Amino acid sequence: MKFLYKTLLCSALVAGGAVSCTKDLDLSPTNSITADIAYKTPADYKQVLAKVYGSFALAGNNGINTSDLAGIDPGQADFLRLFWNAQELTTDEAACVWNDPGIPDFHNLNWTAGNVLLSALYNRSLFHVTVCNEFIRESSDEKLAGRGISGQDAEEIRRYRAEAQFLRAFQYWVLMDLFGNPPFVTEKDPIGKYIPPQIKRADLFAYVESELKAAEATLAEPRKNEYGRVDKAASWALLARLYLNAEVYLGKGQGRYNDAITYSEKVIKSGYSLMPEYKHLFLGDNDVDNPEVLLSINYDGIKTQNNGGTTFIINAGINAAMNPSSFGIPNGGWGGNRATKNLPLRFGDYSGKTDKRAMFFGQKIEMEDPSVFTDGLAITKFRNVTRSGAIVPSSGNSFSSVDFPLFRLAEMYLTYAEAVKRGGTGGNEATAIAYFNKLRERAYGNASGNVTAITLNDVLDERGREFYWEAHRRTDLVRYGLLTSGSYLWPWKGGVKDGRGVSESFNLFPIPATDLIANPNLQQNP
């Protein structure tokens, strides 16, 4: 059973209400449960830790029709659905037929500071920061001593605290990557009507780096924590990702490729290994015997229901004609998202007979009409079934128990390879090619797809084959200078059939207009 559902989801203290603007980032409790009650015993701390993790998987605390956020439909309010839209619909990997407010702006690359979905993602990440801040504040050594918690119990709670530090650092990475210069608040700031300052991207980079390194010593050793909880390898993986993108965050000429090699290799040598079959990474029993995933967002189709997460990824990616039962959601299939032709063509033969990562459905690869679901191929990668093909039970037969991988070992192989190709020292070409080929050997089932040399573009293409629909693509295209460029096009990029380049300003999302009004400390991105 997954960690998130072993423990009662306790939300009483960590958030006092819905978050809609940053002047309310740190909230006082609005109910009768005070800190001294919510954090009375070591068991209570683990209950609240479950909420810290649960905030990634849930839209709200009381079922499918509630949300921690104001001003957004609960069905669209969970972190992964919002993050996925921003990372995938803006790229060559996905387009959506729906006309919900904000959706068409993504693939057309023409959003504004008033985009409701971007505002929701921004507020969701800041909500997670608030949740983490409260837990970190209440788990200080002083607080533990004052509550009579000592010895092994105190050591265990310090580990919880380090995990919350990681989760906060992850959300600040999201804000830095997507929004650049967000408001900044920590556990040291006052609770209540506090208007936080804006932090510059370079300063936030330094903060995330320092927080991850500070938490590292206290985190569990690799593969020694409960499934779905942070260990040292997850922290190293986020550092490797941070360093690989350093020139985006800090500016040209300020690359940290040596560090990307160092930390990706720490993960590679930490005891994780590739899942023998690629497709098993994305099934309803991917929490069982999974040696590859360093950290996941965990879902359960019976004990929690949420129209975001992998429920969204699966349902929005298929329609009724695709036999939803074969995807483990007999009553599902919403017919929303599919791929532009760039994604299947990246595989060459996209039948799945050679490279088994190619998992597509449909007859028409061209996207003549962006409002027609069958224009473009559907993605069949995520399925709410077990490895034996059995449907994983869910409430209403439409929810998913597929856990979503935030970090997996395969990313570290390609991070190492790219960092070497970008001039990082401490690694070497032969090792980079060997790591590259490990993924291709799994994909092909043999060495027939192996290569003897690689270029930077080869690494990008391999990332596209390995991580499609895993919310990496926008970040990758920005790093390669291709998201807004006219030199790399896909159907309906920029809102025209054959694609077009757009302003470089769209490499960064805007600070939501609502927060600019609420917080006088904020300045809009260019």
- Over the stretch 150-179, which tens digit does the pLDDT of each residue have? 999 999 999 999 999 999 999 999 999 999
> How far is residue 146 from each of residues 38, 44, 149, measured CA to CA in Å?
14, 15, 8
Residue 220 CA to residue 369 CA, distance in Å, equals: 50
pLDDT in tens, 290-344: 999 999 999 999 988 889 999 999 999 999 999 999 999 999 999 999 999 999 9
Confidence of residue 2 (pLDDT cuts 50, 70, 90): low
The answer to whether 219 and 166 have CB atoms below 8 angstroms apart is yes
What pLDDT, on a 0 to 100 scale, did the predictor assign at position 71? 80
Closest CA to 404 of 49, 71, 87: 87
CB 375 within 8 A of CB 314: no
CA distances from 172 to 43, 54, 76, 222 (A): 28, 17, 21, 23
What pLDDT was estimated at residue 22? 43
Overall domain count for the chain: 1
- Domain of residue 118, CATH code: 1.25.40.390
**Helices (H), ranges, 332-408:** 342-345
pLDDT range class, residue 7, cuts 50, 70, 90: very low
Instruction: Decide if pLDDT at 96 tops 80.
Output: yes
- Residue indicated by tokens 């904020």: 522
What are 337's two structure tokens?
């998202």
pLDDT for residue 66: 78
Q: Is the pLDDT of residue 23 over 80?
A: no
Give CA–CA dist 338/346, Å, rounded.
Answer: 15
Nearest-5° Cα angle at 237, 312 to 88: 30
Distance CA 526, CA 507 (A): 10
pLDDT of residue 64: 74
Position 416 in a domain? no
Residue 101 is predicted with a pLDDT of: 93
Read off φ and ψ for residue 214, nearest 5 degrees: -65, -35
Please answer whether residues 88 and 81 qualify as being in contact, where contact means their C-beta atoms are separated by less than 8 angstroms: no
At a CB cut-off of 8 Å and minimum separation 6, what does 411 contact? 237, 241, 467, 472
C-beta atoms surrounding 199 within 10 Å: 21
What's the mean pLDDT in 239-262? 98
Tell me the two tokens of residue 10.
């306790």
Long-range contacts of 437-441 (CB under 8 A, 24+ apart): 438/274, 438/413, 439/274, 439/410, 439/413, 439/414, 439/466, 440/355
In a domain, 428, yes or no: no
Structural domain includes residue 191: yes
According to DSSP, the residues that pair with 407 across neighbouring strands are 295
Q: Please report the pLDDT score of residue 17 as a whole number.
A: 37
Residue 2, domain member (yes or no): yes
Up-side HSE of residue 200: CA atoms within 13 Å toward CB? 4
Would residue 285 count as lying in a domain? Answer: no
* Whole-number percent of the chain with pLDDT over 70: 93
Domain of residue 163: give its range. Answer: 1-92+102-219+481-526
Q: How far is CA 111 from the centre of its chain?
A: 21
**Where do we find the tokens 């949740």?**
131
* Average pLDDT of the residues of the chain: 93
369 is a domain residue:
no
pTM of the predicted model as reported, rounded to 2 decimal places: 0.95
262-266: average pLDDT:
98
CA–CA dist 313, 196 (Å, integer) = 34
201 in helix, strand or coil?
helix
Per the CB < 8 A criterion, the answer to whether 296 and 1 are in contact is: no
Residue 522 three-state SS: coil
Q: Is 494 helix (H, G, I), strand (E, B) or coil?
A: helix
Could you tell me whether strands 404-408 and 378-379 are parallel, antiparallel, or unpaired per DSSP bridges?
unpaired
Q: Kindly state whether residue 53 falls inside one of the protein's structural domains.
A: yes
Residue 207 to residues 3, 172, 178, 387, 450, Cα–Cα distance (Å): 29, 9, 16, 41, 40
The Cβ-side half-sphere exposure at 117, using a 13 Å CA radius, reads 22
Read off the pLDDT of residues 26-72 as tens digits, 9 standing for 90 and up: 444 444 467 888 899 999 999 999 999 999 998 887 667 778 888 88
Whether the CB-CB separation of 286 and 403 falls below 8 Å is answered with yes
Is residue 386 one of the residues assigned to a domain? no
Q: Is 271 left (phi over 0), alpha (psi -120 to 50) or beta?
A: left
